[in-house]
Amino acid sequence: MRGPHNIWRLVRTGATFERTGAMKLVLDAMDAPKPLRIAARVLGWPFKWLGIEGDPAMPPATRALTALGPAYIKFGQVLSTRPDVVGDDLARQLRVLQDRLPPFSLAEARAQIERELGRPVPEIYSELSEPIAAASIAQVHQARLAGTGEKVAVKVLRPGIEKAFRKDVDAFYLAARLVELLSPSSRRLRPMEVIRHFDGVVRGELDLRLESSAAAEYAATTAKDEGFRVPAVHWAWSSRRVMTLEWANGIGASDLEALDAAGVDRKAAGERVLQMFLNHALRDGYFHADMHQGNLKITAAGEIVAMDFGIMGRIDEYTRRVYAEILFGFIRKDYRRVAEVHFEAGYVPADQDIDEFARALRVIGEPIFGMEASKISMARLLAYLFEVTERFGMQTRTELILLQRTMVVVEGVARSLNPHINIWDVARPVVETYIAKNVGVHALARDLAMTARVVARLGPRLPKLAEAALVAQSQPPEPGLRSMSGLLWFLAGGGTAALCIAIGMLIAS
């Protein structure tokens, strides 16, 4: 990371927002307090001349973020799904960032395709259109495969995108370091860990081979989901910088007028988007983590078609159960249980008061429970959530960043399709189904059966483990031996008991 360059980058960020007129717009949209407004203007105005001018034809916020680069564009994409947080006008401006950015030339795209796939374009595609969509990292062309004539989508990375992202992420690292240095209380939010997580996600998104793999896995896990589809990958014509996919028919989820003209039931579509995300996160532990309007199409029959699989999320079995229990507790208005789950999972330090935390959760849940989305102020809700995390010393859970971020994005998409959607009513059947299958007696039986299988695999090693434990009794303890002794106890006694319990529970079920 280059210090001088990053300092310059941060200064230029504020200057660019000031020069493009985006600073006041963003502060107004976020309803920023007066001290923050004063500080932003004092720091931005003297350096206004250093800002990037950007494209004057674009609205101010879009102009500023586009001029600053791909990482800033990614941030704008998330905000574009939250008109309740940033306001309708700013959200409309930012929505351009999803798939309508300035493209690079067809000639550059053809050259990249030939370099990557090692063959002339006519031998691969009988037709290759001008760009039909351009986003922060890549653009998409419509094409037909030579020979079969099948209609496909061809995704090509932007030239030099890797270097551009590296510069942005370097500056973010510096910003995170400054936040930790100047505001010790912010360290519980682990800003450096957050940026490292973002860095890892971006690196994966810049290799289209990984995206092809993600698309194939996502298609397999969602194959039986009615009303949801993932286009198939053409592996022969995909590489690190080029990806070829089955063409996805449908109307962009952001084109509400076209959806209405096609007779699409937007209310049902909004519910399906939210329920599909929850199903994929809870049931599969594998979900689309960039599910904004630009990455979704809706057919006339209401089928949701997902695109762009550069950012996918995973959550393990334990975290899924915790997440489901938290949601279910809110749905049932059982704030004490929600608080207990937070403490059991270690999300709240053990020295905090569980009853006080439950009371704080009630303040979050009661005002929004049963209300339609258009009546909920997410700006106020998010502000209070931040107060709660600070008050109870909660640290940022980096393993949940993608899940939390995507939940915000998906809720925003559902709201755009149906402004009156009731989030809790829509989520309830999905969460209840997951809870019924994965929390309780049946889940315990399944867990014990899995434990028994692990014990069985370790069986041949039992004599050596026993011998090691006996030797350990006559020698000073070494790192790791205590855990080995615990494993031996489990295998010799606890494992047998677990196996018996598992068999009994399976028979009973």
More confident call, 268 vs 422 = 268
* Residue that is last in its domain, among 44, 77, 99: 99
More confident call, 46 vs 441 = 46
**Cα–Cα distances in angstroms (integers) from residue 508 to residues 85, 442, 446, 449, 456, in the given order:** 50, 10, 12, 13, 22
The pLDDT value recorded for residue 218 is 97
- 271 and 131 share a domain? no
CA distance 12 to 48: 8
List helix spans (H) across 366-461.
Answer: 378-391, 401-417, 423-438, 441-458
Sign of CA dihedral 246, 140, 403, 277: negative
- 221 and 344 share a domain? no
317 confidence band (pLDDT: 50, 70, 90): confident
Mean pLDDT highest for which of 158-162, 353-357, 396-400, 479-483? 353-357
How large is the average pLDDT for residues 221-238?
95
Within 8 A by CB and 6+ apart from 362, the residues are: 335
- 463 and 449 share a domain? yes
* CA 392 centroid distance within chain: 25
User: Is residue 505 over pLDDT 50?
Assistant: no
- 347 and 465 share a domain? no
Find out whether 414 and 274 touch, Cβ atoms under 8 Å. yes
CA distance 504 to 458: 22
CA distance 11 to 13: 5
DSSP 47-60: GGGGS----TTS-H
Question: Which position among 168, 170, 290, 308 bears the catalytic label?
Answer: 290
- 388 and 474 share a domain? no
Mean pLDDT highest for which of 8-12, 135-139, 377-381, 480-484? 135-139
Which secondary structure element, helix H or strand E, spans residue 193, and what is its range? helix 191-205
User: Is residue 316 over pLDDT 60?
Assistant: yes
Which region among 61-70, 362-371, 383-392, 484-493 has the lowest average model confidence (pLDDT)?
484-493
| Both structure tokens of 483 | 């855990």
The pLDDT value recorded for residue 504 is 37
| Both structure tokens of 361 | 């959760």
Which region among 128-132, 334-338, 484-488 has the lowest average model confidence (pLDDT)?
484-488
- 74 and 112 share a domain? no
Q: Looking at the 3D structure of the chain, how many domains does it have?
A: 4
Question: What average pLDDT does the structure give for the chain?
Answer: 79
Residue whose structure tokens are 């250093």 = 50
* Residue that is last in its domain, among 439, 473, 499: 439
Within 8 A by CB and 6+ apart from 395, the residues are: 188, 189, 190
Beta bridge partners of 305: 229, 297
CA distance 110 to 99: 20
Which region among 325-334, 390-399, 496-505 has the lowest average model confidence (pLDDT)?
496-505
CA distance 147 to 127: 11
- 354 and 207 share a domain? no
- 469 and 408 share a domain? no
Residue-number span of the structural domain to which 72 is assigned = 3-99
CA distance 124 to 142: 13
Find out whether 348 and 392 touch, Cβ atoms under 8 Å. yes
User: Is residue 502 over pLDDT 90?
Assistant: no
Which region among 58-72, 75-89, 371-385 has the lowest average model confidence (pLDDT)?
371-385
- 387 and 272 share a domain? yes
- 66 and 87 share a domain? yes
> What number of other Cβ atoms are within 10 A of residue 70's Cβ?
23
The pLDDT value recorded for residue 85 is 58
The pLDDT value recorded for residue 494 is 39
Strand order in the sheet with 296-298: 228-229, 304-306, 296-298, 251-252
- 106 and 193 share a domain? yes
The pLDDT value recorded for residue 110 is 96
For 426, half-sphere exposure in the C-beta direction (CA atoms, 13 angstrom radius) is 25
507 confidence band (pLDDT: 50, 70, 90): very low
Q: What percentage of the chain has pLDDT greater than the value 90?
A: 30
How large is the average pLDDT for residues 275-286?
92
- Catalytic annotation present for 255: no
- 264 and 349 share a domain? yes
Strand order in the sheet with 151-157: 125-134, 138-145, 151-157, 242-246
Find out whether 41 and 23 touch, Cβ atoms under 8 Å. yes
For 381, half-sphere exposure in the C-beta direction (CA atoms, 13 angstrom radius) is 17
User: Is residue 399 over pLDDT 70?
Assistant: no
- Would strands 138-145 and 304-306 be described as parallel, antiparallel, or unpaired? unpaired
The pLDDT value recorded for residue 411 is 84
User: Is residue 380 over pLDDT 90?
Assistant: no
Beta bridge partners of 142: 153
CA distance 81 to 135: 16
How large is the average pLDDT for residues 446-465?
70
How large is the average pLDDT for residues 110-127?
95
* Residue that is last in its domain, among 193, 222, 247: 247
More confident call, 222 vs 349 = 222
pTM of this structure: 0.72
Segment 332-360, tens digit of pLDDT: 889 999 899 889 888 888 899 999 999 98
